[in-house]
Amino acid sequence: MKWKDREKSSNVEDRRAQGSSGGSGISMGMVMMLWPIIKPLLRTKLGWALIAIGVVAYISGYNPLSLLGMGEGTTIVVDQKKDDVQADFMETVLRDTEVVWDDVFRSYGHSYKKPIVVFFRGSTKSGCGYASAQMGPFYCPNDEKVYLDLGFFDELAKKYNAGGDFAQAYVLAHEIGHHIQNLQGTLDQVQNLKQQLRSEAKVNALQVNVELQADCYAGLWAHHAQKRFNILEEGDIEEALNTASAIGDDTLQKKTQGYVIPDSFTHGSSKQRMEWFYKGFKSGDVKDCNTFSSK
């Protein structure tokens, strides 16, 4: 991707130097994020004791995940020069998304509200609760910020064989896609619908539509960014498609547990993620990214 010596966004909050941070209270968002860890602990007295210790540690300003062998309990070795280049790249991609989505919103008679991207290392606080590197990049609608530990991209390349600068651009563009959904009111509508559903499979299917639309919006961004800035180099779109495939639910489930449970998908299959990104890229039209009415 052609990105050097181009305009960068200033809508970045750099918390990398802060390291892990605790908090003064425990939000429902944090409980939900830690639930896979908390649930088995509730079955034993020792588990309850560990939870109590974790709560006290969190209130005292420490990362409770470190008590379970995760988070800031592990020393993080960072190549600062490489990390800074990575930050510069993300700031450039973010600026491209701002320009593209500003144009798209204006074409529909609306103004685009730019999100903030938070760079952190290890763990930090978000408007949706506790954020850790283990969670991967995510968008928080409560504070309209994208949270990103830059070390994620090393894991993406090494663990999932999904490297390349445009693979990284796709990841950020996907999270910005969730911001677009938030501005459109889609995330609120989906949340309301989820509360009315009794089937976990149907709730998951609804979330898949959310994620696939964000993939489509990432492709839409690439379409317009290429027209506006001529950013693409040979192999870039393939990098994005390879990443979409590598993080598809079916691919991840096969890798971690050896079999696939479609009803448990929350992001979509590899094929779906690739198809929706490419659809957005070829079309460049927001109307073609309506995954909720797609057959």
Would the pLDDT of 10 be above 70?
A: yes
Cα angle for residues 114, 117, 118 (degrees, 5° grid): 145
pLDDT at 79: 79
Asked if 248 contacts 160 with a C-beta cutoff of 8 angstroms, the reply is: no
Residue 76 — pLDDT band, cuts 50, 70, 90?
Answer: low
Residue 40 — pLDDT band, cuts 50, 70, 90?
Answer: confident
Span 83-103, pLDDT tens digits? 999 999 999 999 999 999 999
Asked if 218 contacts 280 with a C-beta cutoff of 8 angstroms, the reply is: yes
Dihedral, CA atoms, 235, 215, 201, 144, nearest 10 degrees? Answer: 140
Residue 22 — pLDDT band, cuts 50, 70, 90?
Answer: very low
Would the pLDDT of 218 be above 90?
A: yes
pLDDT at 28: 44
- Nearest Cα residue to 137 out of 164, 174, 82, 106: 174
pLDDT at 44: 81
pLDDT at 52: 77
- Nearest Cα residue to 181 out of 294, 289, 295, 268: 289
Tell me the C-alpha distance between 252 and 259, whole Å.
Answer: 9
- Which residues are CB-neighbours of 289 under 8 A, at least 6 positions away? 213, 216, 217, 220, 276, 279, 280, 283
- Which residues are CB-neighbours of 21 under 8 A, at least 6 positions away? 15, 61, 123, 124, 125
Instruction: Indicate the pTM of the whole model.
Output: 0.82
Span 261-289, pLDDT tens digits? 999 999 999 999 999 999 999 999 999 99
Tell me the C-alpha distance between 210 and 224, whole Å.
Answer: 21
Would the pLDDT of 19 be above 80?
A: no
Residue 48 — pLDDT band, cuts 50, 70, 90?
Answer: confident
Structure-model confidence comparison of residues 108 and 41, the more confident one: 108
Residues 46-62 have a mean pLDDT of 67
Neighbour-count burial for 60-77, b at 16+ CB within 10 Å, e otherwise: eebbbbbbeebbbeeeee
Tell me the C-alpha distance between 286 and 213, whole Å.
Answer: 10
pLDDT at 18: 80
Structure-model confidence comparison of residues 23 and 258, the more confident one: 258
HSE-CB at 293 with a 13 A cutoff on CA atoms is 4
pLDDT at 101: 98
Concatenating the DSSP letter of every residue in 24-49 gives SS--HHHHHHHHHHHHHHTTSHHHHH
The chain-wide mean pLDDT, for the chain, equals 88
pLDDT at 62: 53
Asked if 3 contacts 89 with a C-beta cutoff of 8 angstroms, the reply is: yes
Residue 221 — pLDDT band, cuts 50, 70, 90?
Answer: very high
- Nearest Cα residue to 141 out of 195, 180, 90: 180
Structure-model confidence comparison of residues 235 and 47, the more confident one: 235
For the ranges 4-18, 52-66, 80-94, 149-163, the lowest mean pLDDT is seen at 52-66
Span 118-141, pLDDT tens digits? 999 999 999 999 898 888 999 999
Largest CA distance in the chain: 60
DSSP H or E stretch at residue 199: none
